[in-house]
Amino acid sequence: MNIVPVDRSNLCLAAAVHSASWQGSHREFCTAEFVALHTPEHQEAYIDRKMSEGSRFWMLTDPRPAGVVSVKDSLIEDLYVLPDRQNMGYGTALLRYAIGECPGMPALWILENNARARRLYEKEGFRETGNRKAVTGKLDEIELAPQIVYRIADPDDIGLMMRTRLDTLIAVNGLESDHLFGEDFLAAARKFFLEGDQETVLALAGDRPVGCATMCYLCLMPTFSHPTGQRARLMNVYTDGTWRRKGIAYHMVSLLIRRAWERGATEISLDATEAGRKLYRKLGFTDSGECMTLDAACRHDPDNRLNNREETT
């Protein structure tokens, strides 16, 4: 399965897919004469015009062309799959690709009687916004947009917490998607989520987890700056690649910060990737050069100062 941009070199192929798919999906409620107007040539001119107006088109091939989709700003349109290639995951693949190409939270419009498309979009977390527009005297288009649900995970969510944690590690460390984690590591991660002093927030699009973040709580020796000794560390912040740049991480971390202050934490620390620094600075985090660390691995280093120090008085 491959998704490629539509340009002059493959425009006629994309138009043929668009034509056959459009005719198949509109035949039940449009006149035969109107359906017949949407020939490959007609749809080629349609796609060409839309691209000149700023829409971006993509075509899915596997290995022959099977579907198309377009995005303009954050509006998803023209998602069509050939009638004989439906129910094979192509519509889902095109939708997820289009979501990832939206600079903000996506939206789309469907005919109110398009039950097949509605099932696809609702599975991916889209819901009615309440906006409608008339197409004919008897038929409306309805707007759908993602409804992301944020909630604090509980022990019953251990499967989702483990899944998102492993997705985080795979993404951060550049691992293969089928990377095998050690049994000891998996057991320790599972135990932490079930027994550790932590709160994990899950972001869900429908039933699909698209983001997670975890606040770990620590009790250290009190200091003048932190008289209670209650501190927190933010970890495991991850958003599925399809859903990045849509404010999901900001919402998750904001929720955890509020809960940390409510629990009496006086400091929140984190390790930030370069890509994440903009988000954390927006939330008020600042860089600190105060911390020094000693890695347990260095105890096996023959040049380690701890093993080779000279006692002085």
pLDDT tens string 199-218? 999 999 988 899 999 999 99
The answer, yes or no, to whether residue 238 has pLDDT greater than 70, is yes
**Beta carbons within 10 angstroms of residue 79's beta carbon:** 21
The string of pLDDT tens digits covering residues 11-38 is 999 999 999 999 998 887 788 998 899 9
Q: Are 256 and 234 in contact (CB under 8 A)?
A: yes
Q: How many whole angstroms separate alpha carbon 16 and alpha carbon 28? A: 20
Please report the pLDDT score of residue 303 as a whole number: 59
Return mean pLDDT, the chain. 91
Res 312: pLDDT: 39
User: Do 51 and 57 meet the contact criterion of CB atoms below 8 Å apart?
Assistant: yes
End-to-end CA distance of the chain: 71
Query: What number of CA atoms fall less than 13 Å from residue 291's CA on the CB side?
Result: 7
Q: What is the pTM of this model?
A: 0.82
Question: Per-residue pLDDT for 57 more than 60?
Answer: yes
Q: Mean pLDDT, to the nearest integer, of 267-273?
A: 90
pLDDT, tens only, 244-254:
999 999 999 99
Q: Average pLDDT, stretch 56-64? A: 97
Residue whose token pair is 């079930």: 194
What domains lie within the chain, and their CATH numbers?
A: 2-146 (3.40.630.30), 148-298 (3.40.630.30)
Q: Cα separation of 103 and 37, whole Å?
A: 34
